[in-house]
Amino acid sequence: MFENFSWILFFLIFLLLLVLVFFPQYGLKDRWQRYKIANKRVLLEDALKYIFDQEQQGHTVGVDALSGKLKISSKSAFELIEQMTEQGLITTQKNHVHLSDDGERLALQIIRAHRLWERYLLDEARMPLDQVHDQAKRRQHGMTQKEIDELDASLGYPLSDPHGDPIPTAAGTFYPHEKGIQVNEWEEGVLGKIVHLEDEPAIAFAQIMAAGLKPGQLVRILEKNQKRVILTDGEQEFNLAPAVAANVYVLPLSKEEMVQRDAIPLSQLPTEMEAEIVRLDESCQGFTRRRFLDLGLTPGTKIYPELDNSFGDPRAYRVRGTLIALRSDQAEDIWVTPMQVTS
């Protein structure tokens, strides 16, 4: 009797193992197959994005460069190149690969997904800027065109990612954009606006974040030599090694921005002092930016603090004949020029 029970138990365990391995969709075999397919897609998309980035910089890509970037063997890189060639995504010439029109379209779709995710993670999820790149790399893969379009719409069609890079449109085109001039090549004492922060290498970007620099910030060079580059925004000094400063790009201020230099954050406006809104901070994106625009907080609009809160937040502001409440962190993103004390 005990022997029969053992055989029954063995049979049930064997049957359970078969179910765990071969059960459709949920079995280990199907899961492993899906994992391999997903992993191949990730490698292919990363390869296309890398080739696109290199071609934009005027560089060519071969097997060794691809294997080094993706951290795969030369054999795997060669097999990947064969796969992309068969799918019509690349062409090869003199041991170098070049994107086809289809390959470029797919690369731009991946770049668009990545930069939109960075925008979402910073603006909506409130993730620190130095963490959004790695998280976006994990989320950018496997998205359909429809999913990317929906993400773009939900963010209000932003033009650039948090690092200052332009976000491609659904048609695969970029809005006019200048990457700027490396701080190392900027003239000492001349005011400039940070327009781009390069996020690779990661160690350099981490130092830039630790220093407190961000896109949209106005800076001057106080000192520049072979050992260090010292910047200031008028209040703080930022001491960077030249290799790190090379990842910071600036442009001269436009005439409009020069006029707006005397602007202050709305949070600093004294109670009952009228002011004119000149701009929304570049860091204000996504849902918050859309809400401000819906409230009529647009350049040229008159606004003034009407009621203070004993606890500090929120504060009541009169705008377009309506009283609205804003927290201090929200008012920090609205730049105004003071006008006169209201009667």
Instruction: Indicate which CATH number applies to the domain containing 275.
Output: 2.30.30.90
**Residue 99 burial (10 A CB sphere; 0-12, 13-18, 19+):** buried
Give the chain's domain count: 3
Q: Using an 8 Å Cβ cutoff, are 238 and 219 in contact?
A: yes
Q: Using an 8 Å Cβ cutoff, are 284 and 262 in contact?
A: no
Bond before 299 cis per omega within 30 degrees: no
Q: How far apart are CA 187 and CA 10, in angstroms?
A: 80
pLDDT averaged per 10 residues, the chain (length 343):
63 66 59 60 89 87 89 90 92 89 92 93 85 88 90 86 87 74 90 87 88 88 92 90 93 74 84 87 78 88 84 85 89 85 46
Cα separation values, 24 from 15, 20, 29, 39, 169, Å: 15, 9, 9, 20, 39
Asked if residue 94 belongs to a domain, the reply is yes
Instruction: Select from 184, 191, 179 the least CA-distant residue to 230.
Output: 184
Give the model's pLDDT for residue 343: 44
DSSP secondary structure, 184-247, as one string: GGSPTT--EEEEEE---SHHHHHHHHHHT--TT-EEEEEEE-SS-EEEE-SS-EEEE-HHHHTT
Instruction: Select from 167, 170, 148 the least CA-distant residue to 158.
Output: 167
Report yes or no on whether pTM surpasses 0.85.
Answer: no
Residues 296 and 316 in one domain: yes
H-assigned helices in the chain: 2-22, 28-56, 63-70, 74-86, 101-123, 129-139, 145-154, 202-211, 242-245, 255-259, 286-294, 328-331
The first and second tokens of residue 295, run together, are 């409230």
Give the model's pLDDT for residue 11: 64
End position of a domain, from candidates 79, 99, 119: 99
Give the model's pLDDT for residue 340: 59
Residues 56 and 95 in one domain: yes
Residues 275 and 240 in one domain: no
Asked if residue 32 belongs to a domain, the reply is yes
Asked if residue 33 belongs to a domain, the reply is yes
Asked if residue 300 belongs to a domain, the reply is yes
End position of a domain, from candidates 99, 131, 147: 99
Give the model's pLDDT for residue 342: 45
Residues 6+ apart with CB under 8 A from 293: none
Q: Would you call 66 helix, strand, or coil by DSSP?
A: helix
CATH number of the domain at 48, please. 1.10.10.10
Residues 230 and 285 in one domain: no
Residues 279 and 249 in one domain: no
The first and second tokens of residue 242, run together, are 């030249």
Tell me the residue range of the domain where 84 lies.
Answer: 28-99
Asked if residue 226 belongs to a domain, the reply is yes
Residues 41 and 85 in one domain: yes
End position of a domain, from candidates 38, 68, 99: 99
Asked if residue 15 belongs to a domain, the reply is no
Q: How far apart are CA 162 and CA 132, in angstroms?
A: 9
Give the model's pLDDT for residue 4: 63
Give the model's pLDDT for residue 244: 93
Give the model's pLDDT for residue 231: 93
Give the model's pLDDT for residue 147: 93
Q: Using an 8 Å Cβ cutoff, are 326 and 318 in contact?
A: no
Residue type, 114: H
Asked if residue 11 belongs to a domain, the reply is no
Asked if residue 169 belongs to a domain, the reply is no
